[in-house]
Chain A
């Protein structure tokens, strides 16, 4: 049943004219077996909303991973309980392939769930979330492969797994232990879904570009040109001198703002430093020792922001 659809990438309008195929398609959708990209996002949001999460919108700055989102970064630092979920666009300049390699993108989407404290039935909650997007763990092979996450730029690390569905990595599941150098208590759990992978699996597509975003438009149609242009920019056109200057300016501004207690705009600066660094790296302008130095620099900035936030939070708690 499912394979039938994989033969036909553009099922949409032609189906409407064919009564039998339409009901076939309808049935698949009814049982949530086949799901458009946008529906996967929607269903995950609905599912986690029901679990009590605030559904927030993506943070409007370039970042290499959802963990950079302030809800994740600051959210994990203090004892204040958190339950949020959001889609997060991630930019990895070095991963772009001019829109020519259908499985490598310079920009893609993660769906993040952040829960603190981590509920005892969190694994079951996660498995149920797969059901909500049509992937029944009882008939697939779901494997939890040891994968302890760490981010040298954020000075963060955690313990957890990457989760494989029939061999494909679809989720990173992490119990944060340290963020920005601070040992955490209580522990935050971070679930990061790879949305493109999930969609490819759900829709039986071999490439990201063939994923149906909705019934009529493919993922490729929406992003190919952007992939092409940004690859040119990141690999060939990005002005190295300017980028280096941006790194310095933002670093300085981050420090200044932290001193003034404005940790949120300061953290924006730290994120920018990280993104410009990633672009410099894609541009091939970073030597080995450069790399270590800049990463240490970003880690330090993240720690400054985190420290300022913790300080202010504690002061507020004390005056309550």
Chain B
């Protein structure tokens, strides 16, 4: 027989539906297993008013369980008189079996008495009385509420419950609601009950109403797409089927029905993203586009289950849309009238973060930073000028009415205003790209000027937050600094800019106000963590990342060094040098910190002399990591010989310290190339 649980609620937020259904499924699987209840198939589906669990072929009772219970030691089974002892009788009675049926089994601790017992399965209809309420209570939402005396926490009030096993109602009460076999139709209609005779009839019973309800999400989605397509085909266009809006719409309707309406041509002058943002986010309507993706003066709205009175409803939708778009036009034109220069002036009234000045101060810092970076990166005069112009307006749109209303359009609107003012396309594009990338893997600024200004903005945000003591920790990253740092690093790598972590921190922190909470010293490591993430994504091994860790060389060099080192480590010679480096490093760790200068006249053995000479003979650093690593191979033999023949801890203190000084010299020279001592020993097959 099948079982059905339907939690009938008041309108759940659309975004809660999917997670709730997933939870309901997971928890049902778990609770049924715990109760030893077998079934064939289990699924969840629903609408914003109905969370449904359907279990197919649920066994009529839980399974019998066999259990072996350990009792007292075997010697206590029978007394010397051959009769069962008091202990044995007691144990048997406790487990409800006859003493004759007790058995003896060997265990690690010797023989013991055991009772083999069988727990009889319990009838499913009895189990469901507790399982169903337990399931309801197990659901957790992003936000919960209470509404009645028992203070059950749920996303929205529960108003009805269907609980069926076959045709039988599983009777219980939760949050003041008694379970029944009654479903209710569309929310705007008089709530006459629909009697559900058995679980398998549920879906069809709801579908066969005068106003059908589609309880299956996929079915609803298909109905929505079909309905939208019907509307747009009539118009000769298609809809901008934003995935988020589709899912949201599917989850705030029980039977989506689309209707198309017209939009005044005057709104077509709005920037595309502004118009679509108003439609999608404010009034949940689908924009209409032609084959080229250009917006058309129409809209698609969706109703819930009803298609009567279309004209009046359409007029209503249109009026609302007109009011919202008129607002948008008003804001947009106001902003245009003010212009970027006036908008920028307002920035002195907008605070950035406590202690780090206003957005005007931030703009000035970003401009300075842009100038310094442009110089280092050898930007042409024209590019530098464009970048500085973009930097000085980078935050101007934050003072605009449109961005105040629609925060997501920051950057984009700056670009629009710059274009309208006839500024160079380099500048307007840079403004548009200023906030890119929006997430860890999303697109970067495409233009080099956009990339530079965007980088400067991010670096200032990072440095200012660290200087003000706002360092992300654990899941706490309210200013999304990790994302910003990742963005900065991706921009630098993508443009192959020769900038090191220390350089970035130095440039971005020089103009910041003093602060008692200064944590700027943690910024280099924070940036390194992001670079490390990128290296890990490239499958670079952890020890190799540690070996090439360097805050003074350009980021892209770190990347190539990691790849080169991975490759070079296939050579056993370099592996041996690395092993030696580790040994050197370990010895020095034990030794005193202030070693005397190396004194060649104190060398006693030829191995010391040869090793020192080998170090001296290393070619000068030539900024070619691969060659440097190869050169280091020449140290392999001398170091190995040194360790084979020579006691570093010589009896004479003077000689001992001199040998340590030689090791120090080696360490210093090695670390100029890489932290080889961080490398783990390579196995036979590794790196081959």
Contacts and interface: CB of A to CB of B under 8 A. Distances in A.
A161 B316 contact: no
A141 B187 CA distance: 11
A232 B644 CA distance: 94
Given A143-B252, A167-B301, 5 more contacts: A144-B252, A146-B13, A166-B320, A167-B283, A167-B285
B537 interface: no
7 contacts: A123-B10, A137-B189, A140-B309, A140-B312, A142-B187, A143-B304, A144-B10
B323 A124 contact: no
A288 B359 CA distance: 13
B15 to A, nearest CB: 8
A94 to B, nearest CB: 13
A103 B322 CA distance: 12
Interface string B519-551: 000000000000000000000000000000000
A122 B149 CA distance: 16
Interface string B270-284: 000000000000010
A186 B146 CA distance: 9
Given A127-B188, A146-B14, A159-B156, A167 B317 contact: yes
A120 interface: yes
B191 interface: yes
A171 to B, nearest CB: 13
- Please indicate which of the listed interface residues A2, A144, A146, A167 has the most CB atoms of chain B within 10 Å of its own CB: A167
Nearest 10 pairs of A and B residues by beta carbon: A166-B316, A146-B13, A167-B320, A144-B11, A139-B309, A137-B188, A159-B145, A167-B317, A141-B303, A168-B320
A167 B316 contact: yes
A175 B11 CA distance: 13
A201 B147 contact: no
A2 B285 CA distance: 25
Given A2-B312, A201-B316, A187 B252 contact: no
A159 B306 contact: no
Interface in A157-201: 159, 161, 165-168, 175, 177, 185-187, 201
B10 A118 contact: no
Given A103-B323, A146-B14, A165 B316 contact: yes
A185 to B, nearest CB: 7
Interface in B120-155: 143, 145-149, 151
A139 B316 contact: no
B320 A138 contact: no
Interface string A106-138: 000000000001101001100100000000011
B308 interface: yes
B320 A140 contact: no
A146 B285 CA distance: 17
A141 B313 contact: yes
A248 interface: no
A167 B143 CA distance: 25
A249 interface: no
Nearest to B309: A139
Interface string A195-223: 00000010010100000000000000000
B351 A159 contact: no
B321 interface: yes
B149 A186 contact: yes
B469 interface: no
Contacts of B19: none
State the majority secondary structure of interface residues on B: loop
Contacts of A185: 146, 149, 151
Interface in A1-16: 2-3
B319 interface: yes
B157 interface: yes
A308 interface: no
B425 interface: no
A117 B148 contact: yes
A161 B155 CA distance: 12
A39 interface: no
Interface in B284-331: 285, 301, 303-304, 306, 308-309, 312-313, 315-317, 319-321, 323
B351 A148 contact: no
B321 A167 contact: yes
A186 B308 CA distance: 40
B351 A118 contact: no
Given A123-B187, A124-B191, A127-B188, A140 B146 contact: no
Interface in A255-275: none
B36 interface: no
Contacts of B207: none
Nearest to A184: B146
A140 B313 contact: yes
B304 A175 contact: no
A95 to B, nearest CB: 13
B176 interface: yes
Contacts of B11: 144, 146, 161
A94 B163 CA distance: 53
Contacts of A159: 143, 145, 156
Contacts of A142: 187-188, 304
A273 B156 CA distance: 34
Contacts of A177: 145-146
A206 B264 CA distance: 15
A141 B308 CA distance: 10
B159 interface: yes
Nearest to B314: A166
B316 A168 contact: yes
Contacts of A141: 301, 303-304, 306, 313, 316-317
Contacts of A118: 147-148, 157
A204 B315 CA distance: 9
A138 B188 contact: yes
Nearest to A146: B13
Contacts of A166: 312-313, 315-317, 320
A78 B549 CA distance: 63
Contact of A168 (B159, B252, B319): B319
B570 to A, nearest CB: 58
B618 to A, nearest CB: 60
A3 B301 CA distance: 21
Nearest to B211: A138
Contacts of B159: 120, 123
A204 B146 CA distance: 38
Nearest to A120: B159
Contacts of A175: 145, 147, 157
Interface in B1-24: 10-11, 13-15
B20 to A, nearest CB: 13
Contacts of A148: 143
A206 B319 contact: yes
Contacts of B303: 141
Contacts of A138: 188-190, 306, 308
A193 to B, nearest CB: 17
B578 to A, nearest CB: 56
